[in-house]
């Protein structure tokens, strides 16, 4: 009885890590359990049917989408590896975040799609309110941008 009570009492203060799946996104791979918990509380779950439009080019950038399941088709090509299709655990919106805050491309659901949406303002707020978390997120953004530029340079050379 006593150990059970202690376990229950501990769980009131230290909740179990329910958001390990976030580690599969390169943007979140360095976040600790507490930071993942905070991040998850900002993520909205959205579902799109195959063929449904997610956003169009030149729309204002408000949300970064993380793919939980299904496939997303981008036009024109902007994925780092040169593919038009984004799959599970990839994301879209980070590149646009550092441009003019407008969508650079359009996106449609290629199959039934489950996404997690992070508001751009929440993203900025997270960086401002928790500098440790902010540094990790910005570092991950830099890595992503660096990979993207390297990939495009390689494609241009060949």
Partner 1 sequence: MNWTRLIFTLIILLACVLALVFYSPLLIYLLLALVLAYFLDPAITWMEYKKIPRWLGVLILYFIIAGVLTWLIATYVPELIRQGNQFLALLSRTDQSPLQLIVDLPVIRSLHELVENLDHSVPQMHLLARFDSFLETAVNKIGEFPQLLISNYQPILGTLAMVLMVPIFSFFLLSDKKRIRRALMSLVPNKYFEITLILLKKVDENVGNYIRAILLEMLAVGIMSTFVLSIVGVPYAIVIGAIAGLTNIIPYIGPWLGGLIAVLVILISGMAPVNIIWAGLAMFLVQQVDNYMVYPAIIGKTMKMHPLLVILTVLAGSYFGGVIWMLISVPLVYMIFSLLSALQKNLKEFRII
**In whole angstroms, what is the distance from residue 29 CA to residue 119 CA?**
19
Residue 147, number of CB atoms within 10 A of its CB:
13
Instruction: Find the binding residues for partner 1 in span 77-116 (CB under 8 A).
Output: none
CB of 69 to partner 1, least distance (A): 16
CB of 2 to partner 1, least distance (A): 22
End-to-end Cα distance, the chain: 68
CB of 135 to partner 1, least distance (A): 14
The answer to the question of residue 28 lying near partner 1 (CB under 8 A) is no
b vs e for 73-84, b when ≥16 Cβ sit within 10 Å of the residue's Cβ? bbeeebbbeeee
- 109, 70 contact by CB (below 8 A): yes
Q: Specify the stretch interacting with partner 1 by CB under 8 A; choose among 22-30, 36-44, 69-77, 140-148.
A: 36-44
Q: Which residues of this chain interact with partner 1, rule CB under 8 A?
A: 12-13, 15, 34, 38, 41-42, 44-46, 48, 52, 54-56, 59-60, 62-63, 117, 119, 121, 129-130
């Amino acid at each position: 009885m006593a150990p059970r009570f202690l376990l229950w009492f501990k769980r009131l203060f230290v909740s179990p890590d329910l958001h390990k799946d976030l580690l599969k996104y390169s943007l979140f791979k360095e976040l600790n359990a507490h930071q993942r918990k905070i991040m998850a509380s900002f993520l909205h779950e959205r579902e799109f049917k195959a063929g449904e439009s997610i956003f169009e080019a030149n729309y204002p950038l408000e949300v970064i989408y993380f793919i939980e399941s299904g496939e997303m088709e981008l036009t024109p090509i902007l994925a780092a590896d040169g593919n038009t299709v984004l799959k599970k655990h990839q994301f879209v919106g980070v590149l646009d975040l550092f441009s003019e805050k407008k969508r650079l491309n359009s996106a449609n659901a290629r199959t039934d799609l489950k996404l997690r949406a992070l508001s751009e303002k929440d993203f900025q707020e997270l960086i401002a309110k928790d500098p440790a978390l902010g540094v990790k997120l910005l570092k991950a953004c830099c890595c992503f941008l660096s990979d993207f530029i390297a990939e495009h340079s390689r494609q241009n050379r060949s």
